[in-house]
Amino acid sequence: MRYSPGDLSVRLPDIADGDALVAVSAADKAFSEWRRTSLDERIAHLRDAGQRIAAIKDELAHGITIETGKPITEATAEVGFVVAKIELAIADAKRYLAEFSEADNARPNVVRRRPRGVAAVIGPFNFPIHLAHGAIVAYLLAGNTVIFKPSPFAAGVCGSYGKAMAQAFPPGVFGVVQGGVAIGQALVSDPRVRSICFTGSVNAGRAIARACVDDVSKDVALELGGKNAAIVCGDADLDLAATAIVDAAIATTGQRCNSTSRVLVDSAVAADLIDRLRSALAQIAPGDPLETATRLGPLISAESADRFACAIALPGDWLTPGQRIESISTPIGTAATKRGHYVTPALLRLTADEAPSHPLFRDEVFAPLLTITSTTADAQAIALSNATPFGLTASVFTRDAVRFGAMADELNVGNVYHDLPTTLSPGTLPFGGHANSGNGHPGGRGFIRFATDEQVIQRRE
Ligand code: NAD
């Protein structure tokens, strides 16, 4: 049984598992026609889909909030990104699918991109529509057919999105198959599925890669976790840094791949930054995600809240202890209550010696939990930032642009920010990680290159 994470008295409808074989057969059948359509035709279908999604945007935002507990302002923004992505993806398709010739080749030639076939897109709960949608529209524009397996936590709202999308395409070109791990495995193991875009945890990403390992022609793009650091130099604007750190630690209740979860601060300004962080975190109380004033909603599940409770029970130098809260008052400030998976943010101080091997410094907790570590040199901050298995995002706060540039060169992450939060990932730029954070950069601009095969043609004359 499923319940709304922000209100455990609200039962969510059960959604039956789909049939992966039936979905793949339909997508495989549709591919032979869809691949022959022109880019202009595919763009027309995509724009139709965009209008259908825009027409139900409030329903989708409400669904995201009810099923995942994401605050309604964030859910509304997510649906806005989904609609905006259509034109960004069309611009990408025109740019990256354009044929070209190499003038310095001895013979006339054409380099072009062709669709792969059936693509499977497996999505996470935290941006249940937006992250999958970016890959879905790229695959479709490139002439692939697509099956979307959403997170079971957001099955209802993803089903509504899928219905609106599917109506804009010929039968079989786009479909949703519901289910969990078993359906995901059935999809990725099917030999007719030629390309996979997965967004989720490292362990699930590994399981998917393992399922595909014997078929070397299958493309597998993985967008995985992050353990993202904010590096605060001695010359930083501390107000700006503290605001960006707190925003990026609590957005989506810390359940973003690019959430800030570690702070590395020059010891000269550590005390001042800690004061600012503690007072900002103390202002943040969890609230009903359906209220527009709420910044911190619930965690996704009881398991997630238990994991957070275990983390904050670890002995250590807790500057802000964090709490699990069984119920909140709603509307904020009234006596009415809602039970849910609520928490308050936590801040743990770790020394530079203990940090690299500390689980809360290395592992993704996926909750509003920050560690803070004082450093004595930029090189030490960089080494600590790089001392995790992940490589997604990092921010550097400094008034010195040259210093920022030198540090960016050394940071082993896919996205580096100067005086900005680690969560900034506009759809207008590429996005993706290194190391255990994944490959293929599925998250942003340019993914359409991955959604295709290159074909090179040469003529005698
Ligand atoms: P999850 O890995 O538990 O599940 C993600 C999806 O994979 C779900 O649809 C799930 O049903 C499916 N799945 C799980 N195990 C599978 C398996 N063995 N085979 C096939 N499918 C399987 O992740 P989640 O809890 O939904 O999302 C949180 C995780 O996603 C975090 O680790 C977060 O960092 C990551 N994430 C990464 C990005 C990014 O852009 N790098 C973005 C969002 C989330």
Distance (Å, rounded) from C-alpha 316 to C-alpha 301?
26
Q: Are residues 201 and 245 in the same domain?
A: no
pLDDT for 308 equals: 98
220 and 361 in a common domain: no
Q: Which atom of ligand 1 is nearest to the CA of 226?
A: 34
151 alpha carbon – ligand 1 mean position (Å): 8
- Whether residues 267 and 174 share a domain: the answer is no
Whether 122 and 23 map to the same domain: the answer is: yes
Ligand 1 atom closest to Cα of 225? 34
Predicted local distance difference test score (pLDDT) of residue 426: 87
Same domain, 139 and 160: yes
Same domain, 155 and 234: no
- On whether both 148 and 136 belong to a single domain, the answer is yes
Both 179 and 212 in one domain: the answer is yes
Q: Which of the residues are catalytic?
A: 223, 257
Which residue range(s) make up the domain with 36? 2-224+438-458
Nearest CA to ligand 1 atom 30: 200
177 and 256 belong to one structural domain: no
The number of distinct structural domains making up the chain is 2
Query: CA neighbours within 13 Å on the CB side: how many for 285?
Result: 12
- Please give the distance, rounded to the nearest whole angstrom, from the Cα atom of residue 204 to the centre of ligand 1: 6
What is the reported pLDDT for 338? 93
Domain with 444 in it: what CATH number? 3.40.605.10
* 345, 299 Cβ separation under 8 angstroms: no
3-state helix, strand, coil in the chain (%, to 5): 40, 25, 35
What b-and-e string marks burial along 311-326, b requiring 16 or more CB atoms within 10 Å of the CB? bbeeebeebbebebee
- Classify residue 433: in a domain, yes or no: no
| Lookup: tokens for 235 | 């010359």
**Atom 13 of ligand 1: nearest residue by CA position:** 181
Tell me whether residue 171 is in a domain.
Answer: yes
Output the pLDDT for position 420.
Answer: 98
Same domain (yes/no): 162, 201: yes
Note the pLDDT of residue 461. Answer: 85
- Taking the centre of ligand 1 as the mean of its atom positions, its distance from the CA of residue 98, in whole angstroms, is 33
For Cα atoms 203, 75, 207, give the angle at the middle one, nearest 5 degrees: 10
Q: Among 17, 133, 151, name the best residue to mutate to test ligand 1's pocket (greatest count of ligand atoms within 8 A of Cβ).
A: 151
- Amino acid (1-letter code) at residue 298: P
Q: Which amino acid is at 313?
A: A
Q: Identify the CATH number of the domain in which residue 302 sits.
A: 3.40.309.10
Please work out, in degrees rounded to the nearest 5, the angle formed at the alpha carbon of residue 294 by the alpha carbons of 265 and 296: 40
* Cα 36 from chain centre: 32
In a domain, 385, yes or no: yes
Q: Quick check: is 388 in a domain? A: yes
Sheet containing strand 369-375, edge to edge, reads 317-320, 346-349, 369-375, 260-266, 228-232, 393-397, 415-418
Question: What is the rounded radius of gyration, in angstroms, for the C-alpha atoms of the chain?
Answer: 23
What residues does ligand 1 touch, defined as CB less than 6 Å away?
A: 122-127, 131, 149, 151-152, 180-181, 184-185, 199-201, 204, 207-208, 223-226, 257, 364, 366, 392, 433, 437-438, 443
Domain check: are 220 and 234 in the same one? no
Q: Of 81, 126, 130, which is best to mutate to test ligand 1, by the most ligand atoms within 8 angstroms of its C-beta?
A: 126
pLDDT digits (tens), the chain, 461 positions = 899 999 999 999 999 999 999 999 999 999 999 999 999 999 999 999 999 999 999 999 999 999 999 999 999 999 999 999 999 999 999 999 999 999 999 999 999 999 999 999 999 999 999 999 999 999 999 999 999 999 999 999 999 999 999 999 999 999 999 999 999 999 999 999 999 999 999 999 999 999 999 998 899 999 999 999 999 999 999 999 999 999 999 999 999 999 999 999 999 999 999 999 999 999 999 999 999 999 999 999 999 999 999 999 999 999 999 999 999 987 777 778 999 999 999 999 999 999 999 999 999 999 999 999 999 999 999 999 999 999 999 999 999 999 999 999 999 999 999 999 999 998 899 999 999 999 877 778 999 999 999 999 999 98
The answer on 273 and 408 residing in a single domain is yes
